[in-house]
Amino acid sequence: MQPSLTTQQQSDALASRLGAHPLPDGSGTRFRLWTSTARTVAVRVDGTDHDMQSQGGGIYELVLPVQPGARYKFVLDGAAWPDPYARFLPDGVHGEAEVMNLHQYQWQNTDWRGLPLRDCVFYELHIGTFTPEGTYAAAQAKLPYLKELGITALQLMPLAAFPGQRGWGYDGTALYAPYAPYGRPEELMAFVDAAHGLGLGVFLDVVYNHFGPDGNYLSLYSPQYFTDRFSSAWGASLDYAEPHMRRFVTGNARMWLRDYRLDGLRLDATQAMQDDSETHILAELAQEVHRLNGTHLLLAEDYRNLPELVTRHGLDGIWIDDFHHEVRVTLTADQDGYYAPYKGGAAALANAIGRGWVFEGQWWPLEDRPRGEPADALGAASFVYFIQNHDQVGNRAVGDRIHHLPHVSPERFRAASMLLLTLPMTPLLFMGQEWAASTPFPFFSDHHGELGAAVSEGRKKEFEGFASFKGEDILDPQAAQTFELAKLHWAEQKDGEHVRTLELYRQLLHLRKTDPVLQNRDRQNLSAGSVAGDLLWVRTVTEAGERVLLWNLGTAELKLDSLPLPFELPGDVVAASEFLPSPPAGEGAAKQREGGRVTKLEKDQGARELGDGDAAELPPLPNPPPQGERELKPGHALLLGRNI
């Protein structure tokens, strides 16, 4: 039977937390653990063993006059093991833990209270490859660039400690200990503090559906943390009916949000968080997160298309695979693997946008059963849309991004980006996407011995169902070079197509924030459709005016003013995915525009700074052709509008 909320709140009291916790008066540290198997229990601090006292119910405790910085392991029946609740493991998941006082850091931006989901523009990044150094401190130096770009929220890939010197982080085993190669806990706090000072939220990807295969010691303390009632592709299933496992996860969520002051969590693969308790663990996590002071958000990665994650369990949003897959198939015609059920094209995209996702009860051939339910009850902000993320790039054999493919031109990629950033759904960018980075993001790991060899071999087998890949083309995730390939090349921002793409992202993110129509996030104002299979249109109408996005997915130019649309096209150009030649210089140029009007983007013309401080000249801004002659080139997108 799961504990009541009152019991759960009591379990979060400092005196009842497992692990090592300095006493508030500074007189020492309380060491505390739970075991259902050990007969003798001690704590080894800086090489000396101290017997712990039984408190009943498998709880052992001891207070020692040691200070933060001391190293320790717990000793069960004579064998020393790492603490699964360790707050820091400086020597890795198999080493000694360090006693940490997470309340010593002096926060500077204490008035930060978070931000609502509707205001989030997420930027997903991997600390180890975002910069050459791969540290919190180096990433912190890039925060002003992200602010200037128009990002409002950072989405960090997992930070919980995992084995080795490199990895994605989804094989974490010590969930309370930030991964040491990225920096110390205080440096992570400084990163979050600096982000808040710039008005940026910080979110963390957490994995509560499995533990990695190397370095998880929970079962040595008690096999009751796990169960065989459920099956898992990643090993033993977590038993959320066991109060200690339940508290392990809810306490972990509270730690990240309370002690590190993060703004929210993205829950990895929630479809695999199986729970037969009266209150599902997802609902309890949502209650715990929303009970904290300020605005804290909880997002799910879940392919099932279930509105109940928000409407019943109380989560705030869901990562939507269907939108990505329809965009991908539209641009590439891929039909391998899980892309096979998607049609692509203007009509399919219009349906995905209009319905929120694609599968809402239709048959899902990959599992031979129906998938999804209608999403009518969800607001636009609850849909997290993306055209790239770590999975959709890294789950490819060589980690190539969508714009790396020879049949995806820079123009078509920029048009897809324009669609993403002008929709009312919550957008997510993957690091480097904003300048069409040349670097791939392949899967990489650093496991040793037989496990490492098994990971390399398993990676090859993973792509046996993809006709476009051959075994010799698949990058070895265990090779250090594979990790190095994933590191962004920041200097390329100043080159060629990268400049054009980066400036478009800057303009669109600015427009998303300031445009009176696009600021409205109500799905009721949104409609989408297609013309002759080649043109996608997306229309937003509010009290402030009208915006219409047009994307030519065909191979021929389209004359805009002869399109059989169910509405009249607005006359003003608000934005364009490609920059047409500039008008003649001088005051007369503006008068040559329609009725003498000059768009806001034209007024903003000028140089802007790149992230590294070097300035790049702005590409020419949209120059709409005279009324009656407007054409949209293949692959291009255009945003038209009128204000009321």
CA distance 54 to 52: 7
Q: What is the Cα 114 distance to its own chain's centre?
A: 17
Nearest to 119 by CA among 486, 441, 519: 519
The number of residues making up the chain comes to 644
Tokens of 30: 């309380």
DSSP assignment letter at 375: -
**HEC letters along 460-471:** HHHCCCCCCCCH
CA distance 346 to 554: 9
Determine contact, residues 476/456, Cβ cutoff 8 Å: yes
Q: Is 423 exposed, middle or buried (0-12, 13-18, 19+ CB in 10 A)?
A: buried
Determine contact, residues 174/93, Cβ cutoff 8 Å: yes
DSSP assignment letter at 544: T
Contacts 24+ apart (CB under 8 A), 95-98: 96/71, 96/72, 97/19, 97/20, 97/71, 97/72, 97/73, 97/177, 98/68, 98/69, 98/70, 98/71
> 272 CB contacts (<8 Å, ≥6 apart)?
209, 210, 232, 233, 234
Tokens of 257: 């949000």
Please give the positions annotated as active site. 268, 301
Please provide the DSSP assignment of 176-225 as one string. Answer: EEE-GGG--HHHHHHHHHHHHHTT-EEEEEE--S---SSS--HHHH-GGG
Q: Is 226 exposed, middle or buried (0-12, 13-18, 19+ CB in 10 A)?
A: buried
Q: 3-state class of 433 per DSSP? A: helix
**HEC letters along 44-94:** EECCEEEECEEEECCEEEEEECCCCCCEEEEEECCEEECCCCCCCCCCCCC
Question: How many CA atoms are closer than 13 Å to the CA of 483, on its beta-carbon side?
Answer: 20
| E strands present in 305-458 | 317-319, 363-364, 369-370, 383-386, 426-430
> 78 CB contacts (<8 Å, ≥6 apart)?
40
Determine contact, residues 163/464, Cβ cutoff 8 Å: no
> 229 CB contacts (<8 Å, ≥6 apart)?
237, 239, 276
- Which H or E element spans position 128? helix 127-130
Determine contact, residues 187/200, Cβ cutoff 8 Å: no
Q: How many helices (H) and strands (E) does the chain have?
A: 18, 32
> 591 CB contacts (<8 Å, ≥6 apart)?
none
